Amino acid sequence: MRRTAFLDRDGTVNRDVDYCRSPEQLELLPGAADAISRLAAANFQCVIVTNQSGVARGFLTEDGLARIHAALHQQLGGVPIAYLHCPHHPEQVAGDPGYCRVCACRKPAPGLLHQACDLLAPFGVTLEGGVVIGDSARDLLMGQGLPVQKVLVRSGKPIEEQRQLLDAAGCHPDHECNDLAAAVDWLLA
Ligand SMILES: [Mg+2]
Ligand SMILES: [Zn+2]
């Protein structure tokens, strides 16, 4: 069966700079592109799922984000089959009021996972047998109670805080490791 890897973006695939606003700020983490290629070679579909409240905050537009994802796609050798994002922020922050609302797609809500399965079912994307990989507790909480494995990587947010958040929510990672490359080593072992 074809499996799907639901990958966080910032702090997992590329270095987490506070609100990436342009393609020039993209910096792939070491081994990330190769790890994604290895996933694809092992018959995983790779989907990027990312919170981008910078849109709601007015730091970048949907068009600007699309340009960033086009550049990222090139740097990743064209491997991921989709880049799904939540542009919202739940509070009325300064920025674009049209995006300031509670939504179902901001992680830790599972909306992006469901979007991926709805949109990409023709490509075999399904939760069953899938894996969520991210540097933030939110990434793993998105998969809580769903039939996906959860891998926490230490390449982004301060790890101790993420562990505490997960613990408090009763969410137990299937694995924790340094980065996406190590996560893929573990998955494919
Ligand atoms: Mg992240
Ligand atoms: Zn959203």
Residue 8 Cα to ligand 1 midpoint, Å, equals 6
Residue 145 Cα to ligand 1 midpoint, Å, equals 20
Range of the domain at 165: 3-188
Mean pLDDT of 89-104: 95
Instruction: Supply 81's token pair.
Output: 């089959």
Task: Please name the amino acid found at residue 136.
Answer: S
> Looking at the CA of 106, which ligand is closest?
2
- CA–CA gap between residue 92 and residue 130 (Å, rounded): 34
Residue 1 scores a pLDDT above 90: no
* 119-130: pLDDT as tens digits: 999 999 999 999
Task: Please name the amino acid found at residue 154.
Answer: R
Residue 188 Cα to ligand 2 midpoint, Å, equals 32
Name the residue among 12, 182, 178, 184 with its Cα closest to residue 107.
12
Cis preceding linkage at 147, omega within 30: no
CATH number of the domain residue 134 falls in: 3.40.50.1000
Ligand 2 (single-atom ion) residues, CB below 5 Å: 86, 88, 103, 105-106
Instruction: Supply 161's token pair.
Output: 């805080």
- Residue 10 is among the residues annotated as catalytic for this protein: yes
- CA–CA gap between residue 22 and residue 71 (Å, rounded): 9
Tokens 């996972």 correspond to 113
- Residue 118 is among the residues annotated as catalytic for this protein: no
- Residue 19 — pLDDT band, cuts 50, 70, 90? very high
Domain count, the chain: 1
Tell me, what's the pLDDT at 72? 98
Mean pLDDT of 132-157: 98
